Amino acid sequence: MTIDFTQNGPKVSPLMYGLMIEDISHSIDGGLYAELIRNRALKDDGNKPVYWDAYPSSSFASIAVDTRQPVPNTALTSSLRLDASSAGGGIANEGYWGIPVAPSTKYRASFYAKSDGKYSAPLTVSIQSNDGAATFATATVAGVTGDWKKYTVTLTTDKSAPKSQNNKFVIAAGASGALWFTQVSLFPPTFHDRPNGTRVDLMKHLDAIHPAFLRMPGGNYLEGNTIAERFDWKKTIGPIEQRPGHQDPWGYRSNDGFGLMEYLEWCDDLKMEPLLAVFAGFALGHEHVSTAAEVQPYVQDALDEIEYLIGGPDTQWGAERVKDGHPKPFSLHYVEIGNEDFFDNSGSYEVRYAAFHDAIKAKYPQLLLIATRSDVKSRKPDVIDDHYYQSARSFEADWRHYDKSDRTAPKVFVGEYASQEGVPTPNLKAALGDAAFMAGFERNADVVQIASYAPLLVNVNPGASQWGTNLIGFDALNSYVSPAYYTQQLFSLYHGDTVVPATVEHGGALSYVVSKVSKMGVVYVKVVNPMASPITTTITLNGAKSIATKGSAIVLTSANDTDTNTISEPKKVVPVTSPLKSVGKTFQYTFAGNSLTVLTLSVK
């Protein structure tokens, strides 16, 4: 391998690399959004109170969905009617595949409740094991009347409470009678203690990647199956009682408790910049608009949305953002127009893209616009979003894909990619396929400006997932990161601001990229060896003036490329760091079989 310090390659964008999120496989509801109650507003099924049970059994209570008792002036149009036939009868929620419990932990429970006006006993709120044998935390609520009112209590587990998830949340009546409940909510401690916040373990995994941006909110989730089911951002902001929720194209209902502002607060929490995808008049089921007049309302919605993110307090939607608790405008460079419009074979994207392009550029000339297909003719998009879901071997074979790009064409955002090896999360083979392809992104940083893996999160419970290979797995209590997660992390943490030209022998077996942090003289050499056997190479640092003899090597490998991490074995494949002791102008290094290696050198 020869690294040529006499020349500079392209500059690497400071926004390389980021995350992509949409609510698929319970990534958000039943995942990152820390809400533990499933079907909290009783809208998941109009006929049945799904995920709810009569407590302790139907001998003590009956329950039903009721739409005739809406909470006044809110979007809470459904409730759960409880007819308790005796004291102790109540309602129980099973959560998203269980309610997690940890010792010495505070849970914030809240709900709207009313009675038939005759009921006067207190309610007992608790978290119990599913078999009813153990109660981990209890609180009492008194004073429920015939009028809707919100009640909030804290449930605290003691230090003997076992870490567990086969649990339920219960509200039991103190006497017989009729009661109604809605917006029943239970939050564990959240990341940065946000009241309507995110799950701590998942946020820590994401934070450790040091992502620079978040492409949100999709994906197909942005589009919806129909235009009516799109991510209609204006219905996802403000008090959560006012958010109606909507049908998610991935087969479940989103309560929209995690709405536009919550995505943006997530960006704040991890110091990411939002990459805002705006609905562009095309839904997943191919319903679309095609004339400039028809597209206009969606263009206006996008302008309003951008104003919500970056407008001053004197603008209509900037003022709304201030009202929603975020006076400071967000930093925004990229706006994406739609998602995967290459599936629209009607030709309407030409008209739709042009309308968005003209309106956004007129008001916000500083923004870079991303098109989702490469054949837009009447306008030149700043960036094209490329998506790849392939085998690891095809990524490795095509790792020089962007070497061939036309340098005068729009820049590239690889908005979704993943080697499809391993279910529900990728194995080492996938991690190496991704790494080979990503080396090609970074080598061509003048073409590929930014990139984000997809999908990001998966609830690993049976029936919870709609996609095969996903970066991070979790259940109600535990989470783990895949080998491919480490590829994302290593690329994100170990890249410089400028590519350094390099060549490698070994018959094309190795994929690689070298970059440097110019001011500090730190050089990162990333090499993928997807072969089972190790490869020894001589590394020559051509044109280097001074070289520190010490460096380090981080190696991601395992005995077999099918090795992976799971809930029960979360650390089977992890990167290992070791010192390099005899770096020189020329030195030898052996790249392990089935490995991604990051060498960190000090070169001036």
Catalytic residues: 340
Provide the 10 A C-beta neighbour count for residue 406. Answer: 7
Burial 296-309 (b: 16+ CB within 10 A, else e): eebbebbbbbbbbb
Q: How many residues bind ligand AHR (CB under 6 A)?
A: 11
- Output the smallest distance, CB 434 to ligand AHR, in A: 14
Q: Which of 157, 55, 172, 49 is nearest to 113 (CA)?
A: 172
Q: Rank residues 273 and 416 by Cβ distance to ligand AHR and give the closer one.
A: 416
Contact 285, 59 (CB under 8 A): no
Considering Cα of 345, then 297, then 29, then 322, what sign does the dihedral take? positive
Strand 472-474 to 457-459 pairing: parallel
Within 246-344, residue ranges assigned H as helices are 260-269, 292-310, 316-323
**Binding letters toward ligand AHR, positions 336-355, x by CB under 6 A:** ---xx---------------
Cα–Cα distance measured from residue 52 to residue 38, given in angstroms and rounded to the nearest whole number: 8
Residue 311 touches ligand AHR, criterion: CB under 6 A: no
Considering Cα of 132, then 137, then 140, then 144, what sign does the dihedral take? negative
The CA radius of gyration of the chain, in Å to the nearest whole number, is 27
Q: Rank residues 23 and 35 by Cβ distance to ligand AHR and give the closer one.
A: 23
Report phi then psi at 201, rounded to 5: -65, -40
- Output the smallest distance, CB 364 to ligand AHR, in A: 25
Residue 416 touches ligand AHR, criterion: CB under 6 A: yes
Provide the 10 A C-beta neighbour count for residue 314. Answer: 8
Contact 320, 344 (CB under 8 A): no
Residue at token pair 């095809």: 394
* DSSP structure class, residue 96: T
Q: Rank residues 25 and 79 by Cβ distance to ligand AHR and give the closer one.
A: 25
Cα–Cα distance measured from residue 258 to residue 187, given in angstroms and rounded to the nearest whole number: 13
**Binding letters toward ligand AHR, positions 262-291, x by CB under 6 A:** ------------------------------
Cα–Cα distance measured from residue 135 to residue 132, given in angstroms and rounded to the nearest whole number: 7
Residue 364 touches ligand AHR, criterion: CB under 6 A: no
Q: Rank residues 24 and 490 by Cβ distance to ligand AHR and give the closer one.
A: 24
- Output the smallest distance, CB 205 to ligand AHR, in A: 18
Residue 433 touches ligand AHR, criterion: CB under 6 A: no
**Binding letters toward ligand AHR, positions 219-248, x by CB under 6 A:** xx----------------------------
Strand 213-216 to 18-20 pairing: parallel
Query: Which residue type sits at 239?
Result: P
Segment contacting ligand AHR by CB under 6 A, of 168-176, 212-220, 357-365, 437-445: 212-220
- Output the smallest distance, CB 390 to ligand AHR, in A: 13
Q: Rank residues 211 and 219 by Cβ distance to ligand AHR and give the closer one.
A: 219
Residue 396 touches ligand AHR, criterion: CB under 6 A: no
- Output the smallest distance, CB 437 to ligand AHR, in A: 16
Residue 330 touches ligand AHR, criterion: CB under 6 A: no
- Output the smallest distance, CB 18 to ligand AHR, in A: 14
Which residue in the set 177, 218, 274, 281 belongs to the binding site for ligand AHR (CB under 6 A)? 218
**Binding letters toward ligand AHR, positions 437-456, x by CB under 6 A:** -----------------xx-
Q: Rank residues 253 and 326 by Cβ distance to ligand AHR and give the closer one.
A: 253
Q: Which residues sit at the interface with ligand AHR, rule CB under 6 A?
A: 22, 24, 218-220, 339-340, 416, 454-455, 467
